[in-house]
Structure 1
Amino acid sequence: MVQAEIKTTFEAGPVTFTARHELWDGNIQDHADQGVSIVVQAEVNGEKTILLRFNCFDIERSYIYGPENPDLKSDGPMMLAGRTENSTGMGKMYRMDPTADGNPIGWTMKTIKKQLPEMLDRAGYPEIAKEIDLEVLADVVLELEASARELFVAKRNTVKHNRGTDIFEAGNIRFGLEMRRLPVGDGGLAIHVLTDVGGSTEKSFVEETEIMAFDLFWDGPHYHYGPRNKNHRIYWDRTLVTDYLGWVLDKIDGKKLGAMIERAGYPGIAADLDQDMIDAVLPALTTKAREMLALGESLTGHPGLPADVTPNLVTN
């Protein structure tokens, strides 16, 4: 079945709205996050210019006045005189309050519909603000909102890895070890944290799900919170962390895994962890993991890296 492409660009008089999905990797773009950005653009001095930007992400919920306006001024309140930073420069960021403002896409659409002229004026573009037709804008916002909401769910980056070749049962979770190799040549030992969700284990519809993944790659080592859920991915600082397996084992041994699983979106699984059972399998898991690291070193010159590509369980 061929799926229709999602329309992402909409015009409303002098301005153009563009919605797109963005994936941020921790320590690459910024923090680990995913969501939809919405930018408002127009011609300024003959060049396409971003006037406003809205970040409607899982974590990052913010909006920026004049991100490309070098003349934008921002004076803080008198009570903070001398303590505000970036009083002039490219853009002024404000953050939505997730408690008071609710869903970031919903808040953004209501704000654009009601107060776009005021925001454009604040961003330093009063002449463009005067050209906005609120009736035309209201119709465009309906389409823009539908597009943004569809992008948020349809374009989310998630992944279904293999479960691993060596499995270690530990109560309500299990660990899977795998030697992985990507088509680009990066790879290494992967540690999959798995559990059964969607039904009791005797039901036919129960599904094993990877809730954490640690990819100890030689070039791009990283780990995933909820690979099939939010899939927030963080790359290690290779200056500070050089023993990736040691880092993972330290978190497991230090009883941090529960908090990590909860952050991944599985609080019920985290609540039912049995640390004694986890501790019991750690010695055997550690021994096997180090064997796989050594095997990769002998095969390819990189710890845990096999000679052949190992595709993910589901590629799309």
Structure 2
Amino acid sequence: MGHRGWAAPPLASPANCAMLEGGQGPLDAFLAVKEGELPMADDRGVTHYDLMPIPPIEAQTRFFKANPIVIGVEYRLLDEEIAASSETATARGSDMGPGAGMDDRGVSLHVYAVEGGEKLEHLRFDCFDEDPHYHYVSWKDRTNQMVHIDVAAVGDPVDWALDCIGTRLPQMLDRAGAEETVKKLDLIALQTILPRVTEAAYQARFNSDEQAVRISALGEMD
């Protein structure tokens, strides 16, 4: 099946991951200008949820490792029954999640950092059919911040999310409060797994069994 022309993004290519003149690579350059020169994160349009994200369903998620990160690919259903059955930790925000009538589905891309032997999710791209959005997740600060995706501006949410992972991962992880993980990122290892992540994302989009996903979701949450 086609991938809508998606290709491995340039930042993650071996050539661009090579050291630049003066011994500085793209990740080093980002870290060097981070303090005082990059604009502060814009909080406009951000929803600050009062709950942390619903955990992914392990049985419906494929994981790809590029130390110190792991990317999970999951096909998700989200409705009132599944949300009510989920166990979620409280967060420091004041905004409640979607209320009555929510019924959405689509591919979710989870970006975890392995910290102290524990796998913690810091970014989530919910490429849903009706309300695509993404999350910045900080377990240290207990925050879950959601931003809607404007499909008129960015196009296919799955393509856009994959491109973000390939080209903006240091910046987005930093925005989510995972500064120590950013310092350890291996962009060449990331480039190596991206084709498999892409394949898994489109397999999930077009080949998932929604009834099996629902049974698995409600079964794991009982």
The aligned counterpart of 1:213 is 124
Q: Which residue of 2 aligns with 1:278?
A: 190
After superposing the two structures, state which structure 1 stretch, 155-164 or 274-283, moved more.
Answer: 155-164
Q: Which residue of 1 aligns with 2:113?
A: 195
**Taking structure 1 as reference, are residues 220 and 193 closer, same or farther at Cα in structure 2, changes over 3 Å only?**
same
Distance of 2:44 and 2:191 partners within structure 1: 34
Aligned residues: 153
2:103 is the counterpart of 1:185: yes
How big is the alpha-carbon RMSD for the aligned residues of Structure 1 and Structure 2? 2.8
- How far is 1:291 from its partner? 1.0
Deviation at 1:246, TM superposition (A): 0.9
Could you tell me which residue of structure 2 aligns to residue 161 of structure 1?
A: 55
Structure 2 residue aligned with 1:121: none
Structure-1 separation of matches of 2:47 and 2:127: 21
Structure 1: segments with no counterpart, 5+ residues: 1-28, 35-154, 202-206
- 1:187 deviates by 1.5
Equivalent residue, structure 1, for 2:34: none
Q: Residue 235 of structure 1 aligns to which amino acid in structure 2?
A: H
- Could you state the TM-score of these two structures normalised by the residue count of structure 2? 0.61
Distance, in Å, in 2 between the alignment partners of 1:306 and 1:240 is 33
User: Which structure would you say has the larger RCO, counting Cα contacts within 8 Å and 6 or more residues apart?
Assistant: 2
Q: Are 2:69 and 1:173 equivalent residues in the alignment?
A: yes
Q: Which amino acid aligns with 1:290?
A: Y
- Whether 1:291 and 2:192 are equivalent positions in the alignment is no
Paired amino acid for 2:164: K
The answer for the alignment partner of 1:238 in structure 2 is: 151
Q: Map 1:36-115 to 2 at 5 A.
A: none
Find the partner of 1:266 among 178, 185, 204: 178
The structure whose residues are more often helix, as a share, is 2
Superposition deviation, residue 312 in structure 1: 11
Deviation at 1:238, TM superposition (A): 2.4
Q: Secondary structure at the match of 2:199?
A: helix
Specify the SS of the correspondent of 2:151: coil
Q: Which residue of 2 aligns with 1:32?
A: 46
Alignment partners' CA distance in 1, 2:125 and 2:179: 19
The Cα shift of 1:307 comes to 5.8
**Distance across 1 between alignment mates of 2:220 and 2:109:** 15
Does structure 2 conserve the Cα–Cα contact (< 8 Å) formed by 1:177 and 1:189? yes
What is the Cα deviation at residue 261 of structure 1?
0.4
Is structure 2 residue 214 aligned with structure 1 residue 308?
Answer: yes
Higher CA-based Rg: 1
Cα deviation, 1:80-108, whole Å, max 9, x if unaligned, reads xxxxxxxxxxxxxxxxxxxxxxxxxxxxx
In 1, the alpha carbon distance for the partners of 2:213 and 2:178 equals: 35
- Indicate the larger mover: 211-220 or 222-231: 222-231
Contact map agreement 1:213 1:227 (CA 8 A) in 2: no
> Are residue 252 (structure 1) and residue 165 (structure 2) matched?
yes
Shift of 1:165: 1.7
- Deviation for aligned residue 1:177: 0.8
Report the 3-state secondary structure (helix = DSSP H, G, I; strand = E; otherwise coil) of the residue aligned with 1:186. Answer: strand
Aligned partner of 1:285: which letter?
V
